Amino acid sequence: MKERVNRVEGKRVEGKLAMVTGGASGLGRETALLLAREGARVVVTDINEDAGQAVANEIGEGALFVRHDVADESSWATVLEATHRHFGSLDILVNNAGILIPGSIEDASLEQWRKIMQINADSCFLGCKYGVGAMKESGGAIVNVASVSSWLPINNYPAYSASKAAVAALTRSTALHCRKSGYRIRVNSVHPDGVYTPMMQASAPGVDPKYLLFNSDSNRGGRACKPEQVANVVLFLASDDASYVSGAEIKVDNAILGMGL
């Protein structure tokens, strides 16, 4: 059995090995950097090779970048083999990769639906499948990035909402499977509202961030938070501080459920 490394004060994931999909930008980048600062070695995966390598370079020798098509099963096997060869056994997996394509139920095409489901939902299924396989001997934590749209209706993003609802259901099922199988693997999902990332910026071109970001003094109607605010929640779920948290849906939405849209 793999020897577990005790947490050092101030380093919440000291000695652990983490993989972050979609780690080249946005929430994935912030999560990878935060996990590294908190003591983890980090495997950054993405299809954007230049940006992904830049994140790994920023972290330094405790990081590895691997090109990764999260919707392709063979790519998962390749990435995990490279991870094990370079660093050893995986402790933390953050299934973060995702896309956002607008289109109402009347406007969206079946092709768009399938693409979103492949990248957002299929990738999470593959991540959980291969992540459990990699961690079932020594334990670990899987954090799946979902969205408030998994339960809050958003009329112009039905495919995205459905994909994130699938992520939430998959999380609950995988967590229960791990408990009943006796695996020391915790599986949780994080459900942000808007996160001010390149994906959000692309959906609101030219809009000044001051109109999007929540500010209790100047913009209480703002729906967006900063990536690091979500990354800190991912860190908690990945760390031993959340040792009795599994199958949970953690909303990082600033009470939007109570406000509606």
Residue 4 lies in a domain: no
Residue 168 lies in a domain: yes
pLDDT tens digit string along 99-113?
Answer: 999 999 999 999 999
CATH number of domain containing 39? 3.40.50.720
Residue 260 lies in a domain: no
Residue 261 lies in a domain: no
Q: Which two tokens stand for residue 261?
A: 């849209």
Instruction: Please tell me which residue in 130, 157, 160, 244 is annotated as part of the active site.
Output: 160
pLDDT reported for residue 222? 58
In the block, residue with structure tokens 């942000």: 192
* pLDDT band of 1, cuts 50, 70, 90: very low
pLDDT of 241 higher than 60: yes
Residue 158 lies in a domain: yes
Give 16's contacts (C-beta < 8 A, 6+ positions apart). 5, 39, 40, 41, 91, 92, 238
pLDDT of 5 higher than 60: no
pLDDT reported for residue 172? 98
Residue 224 lies in a domain: yes
- Dihedral angle at the C-alpha atoms of 30, 36, 38, 41, nearest 10 degrees? 140
Percent of the chain at pLDDT > 90 equals 76
pLDDT of 118 higher than 70: yes
Residue 257 lies in a domain: no
pLDDT of 150 higher than 50: yes
Q: DSSP string covering the chain, please?
A: -PPPPPPBTTBTTTT-EEEEETTTSHHHHHHHHHHHHTT-EEEEEES-HHHHHHHHHHH-TTEEEEE--TT-HHHHHHHHHHHHHHT-S--EEEE---------TTT--HHHHHHHIIIIIIHHHHHHHHHHHHHTTT-EEEEEE--GGGTS--TT-HHHHHHHHHHHHHHHHHHHHHHHHT--EEEEEEEESEE-SHHHHHHSTT--GGGTB-BTTTBTT--EE-HHHHHHHHHHHHSGGGTT--S-EEEESTTHHHH--
pLDDT of 84 higher than 90: yes
* pLDDT band of 255, cuts 50, 70, 90: confident
pLDDT reported for residue 7? 46
* pLDDT band of 4, cuts 50, 70, 90: very low
pLDDT reported for residue 55? 98
- Residue 219 domain boundaries: 17-252
pLDDT tens digit string along 154-190?
Answer: 899 999 999 999 999 999 999 999 999 999 999 999 9
- The average confidence (pLDDT) of the chain is 90
Strand partners, 189: 144, 249
Instruction: Look up 160 and say whether it is catalytic.
Output: yes
Number of domains composing the chain: 1
Question: Cα–Cα distance between 203 and 131 in angstroms, integer?
Answer: 31
Contact status, residue 131 vs residue 140, Cβ threshold 8 Å = yes
pLDDT tens digit string along 59-73?
Answer: 999 999 999 999 999
pTM, rounded to two decimals: 0.89
Rg (C-alpha) for the chain, rounded Å, is: 18
Residue 5 lies in a domain: no
Question: Cα–Cα distance between 197 and 232 in angstroms, integer?
Answer: 15
